[in-house]
Amino acid sequence: MERTARGVPGRGHRLRPGQAHWLTLAILGLALLPVGCGQQEDGPQTVPMLLSAAGSYGGQSTVQILPASSTVTTDFAVLDSVTHQTIDGFGGAFNERGWDALSVLDEASRDRALSRLFGSTNSARFRFGRIPIGASDYAMDRYTLDDTPGDFAMEHFSIERDQRLLIPYIRAALAHQPALWLWGSAWTPPPWMKTNNGSDSGAMRNDSATLDAYALYLARFVEAYHQAGFTIRAVHVQNEPVEQTRYPSCFWSPVLMRDFVRDHMGPVFALRAVPAEIWLGTLDKADMSYPTTVLSDAVARSYVRGIGLQYGGLAMAPQLATSYPDLPIMQTETYCGNFRSEPNYNPDRPPNDHAYGEATWGRIRSYLQAGARSYMAWNMVLDAEGKNIDSSSPWPQNALLVVDRPTRQFVETPAYWAFRHYSAFIDPGSRRVDVSGTYDDVMAFVNPDRRLAVVLQNSSAQPRVLTFSARSIAYQVNLPPHSWASLALGT
């Protein structure tokens, strides 16, 4: 089937002369280029493109604008007349081990690393930051914000530990992006609130006194960070509530999560006027009993302002987006890779290779296609070993930036570029738009200023030459093997 520049089936269609429009490279810093108006037939017109291929990342290339007299068969068409969810942005998690790694860099290198993540130019332009409430599995060791047994009134609650590593990390990021949307989640409540009295594994106690104390604990987190100068925008109830692991974790049943939100967390946040939203997250399994149980209760539902999904939660995203269109979906932790179940698992260090970058690019595409409005990385920064605090066998996981401790240098990993090919081009408030055709590894968005962002992948070992259309203009792009490309087409 032959497609015209608007993606409508037809044969022998001649493209209309190019309409006046603007194109810009959305990683910023290049001048706007007027093309299409008075387009010449005697020479190719091109527009800039960000191009990354295995082993060579962040290069500049061009996309050819085909002559207005061309008759072409397109591989896909961008249809910005059909819009989907709003995209709020991208981000990642702050962890103690990330700042510990960054701390070996000199001040200029550390600032450059943070600029690569949060800056406005030559950057991934992250707009979200996740804060662990107490220890995550990438804390230096296990702790919570109130480890005093029986302290139901939170008299010993303190964020003093966070002042050592987490808060400097967050403050340094805010220097590059003052509007950072901060949110928190706990990997474990204080051990004395759990059935096993331990940080790892175990389940949340279900008595009212403990649940009230935990609601107060989460409220105090928001309040203490506010007093320290930070605005926490949301709190997710529990990280991965079905997991019981050898690092900080805690099991919650769907019924207990409903009762906690309805009878404890919701009322405590309302009574204390806590300026943070309550989100139902972070759900990592395709188990609809969690969102269904909580959100089918009218009172619990009234407190919930969003849904957090990660890993296997992807399978629930389309149904949740349809059933609860007023609740934004956040992908809260990207696939970390190097799983023990994989045949190439490395127990010593994570691969941080292009294959993981391609998996990350595809994961972002899948969640955005399923209706997610925001997408989070897991560890933004780690050292080359990248190990967590699993009590038996510390798990080496991938990161976006990797610090080499001996040389005191950092590198951007392929996964960083997989993120940046999306996040540098998709502005907060953009809308995902339809893409029609035979090529699947492509997404498109319309930004608030009406620029189109087109993001492509070639996961094949062979080069690809693709022809596509957008707003009545036809383009041809050359993709090397195992590559990503991103471009912006103006109004």
pLDDT the model gives residue 9: 32
Examine the pLDDT at 20 and tell me if it is beyond 70: no
Per-residue model confidence (pLDDT) at position 327: 98
Same domain, 421 and 440: no
Q: Which two tokens stand for residue 272?
A: 């204390």
Residue 421 lies in a domain: yes
Does 404 share its domain with 461? Answer: no
- 13 token code pair: 């269609």
What is the tens place of the pLDDT at every residue in 306-332?
999 999 999 999 999 999 999 999 999
Kindly state the DSSP code that residue 161 receives in the 8-state scheme.
G
Is 388 found in the same domain as 284? yes
Give this prediction's pTM: 0.91
Radius of gyration of the chain (CA): 24
Q: Is residue 12 part of a domain?
A: no
Residues 283-294 pLDDT 10s: 999 999 999 999
Based on the domain organization, do 294 and 352 belong to the same domain? yes
126 located within any domain: yes
Q: Is residue 21 scored above 50 in pLDDT?
A: no
Same domain, 173 and 48: no
Q: How far is 63 from 78, CA to CA, in rounded Å?
A: 15
Mean pLDDT within 18-22: 35
Distance CA 79, CA 82 (A): 6
In this predicted structure, what is the pLDDT of residue 44?
65
Task: Please indicate, yes or no, whether residues 414 and 477 belong to a single structural domain of this protein.
Answer: no
Let me know: does 175 contact 169? Beta carbons within 8 Å: no
What average pLDDT score do residues 130-142 get?
A: 98
Are 270 and 289 within one domain? yes
Contact predicate 307/317, CB 8 Å: no
Q: Count, in order, helices (H) and strands (E) of the chain.
A: 11, 22
Domain that holds residue 369: 89-428
For the residues 22-26, what does the mean pLDDT come to?
36
Percent above pLDDT 90 for the chain: 89
- pLDDT of 490 > 50? The answer is yes
Residue 444 belongs to domain with CATH number = 2.60.40.1180
Q: What is the CATH number of the domain that holds 421?
A: 3.20.20.80
Q: Do 361 and 474 lie in a common domain?
A: no
CA 441 to chain centre: 18
| Confidence at 11, pLDDT banded by 50, 70, 90 | very low
**Quick check: is 4 in a domain?**
no
Judge contact between 424 and 488, C-beta under 8 A.
Answer: no
Are 218 and 347 found together in one domain?
yes
Residues 51 and 161 in one domain: no
140 and 165 in contact (C-beta within 8 Å)?
Answer: yes
Q: Do 284 and 310 contact (CB within 8 A), yes or no?
A: yes
Domain count, the chain: 2
Asked if the structure places residue 13 within a domain, the reply is no
Same domain, 45 and 179: no
Q: Is residue 8 part of a domain?
A: no
Specify if 245 maps to a domain: yes
Q: Please state the rounded mean pLDDT for residues 179-206.
A: 98
**Of 387, 403, 428, which marks where a domain is finished?**
428
Q: Give the pair of three-digit tokens for residue 295.
A: 């959100």
Verify that 36 and 170 share a domain, yes or no: no
In the prediction, which pLDDT does 36 show? Answer: 38
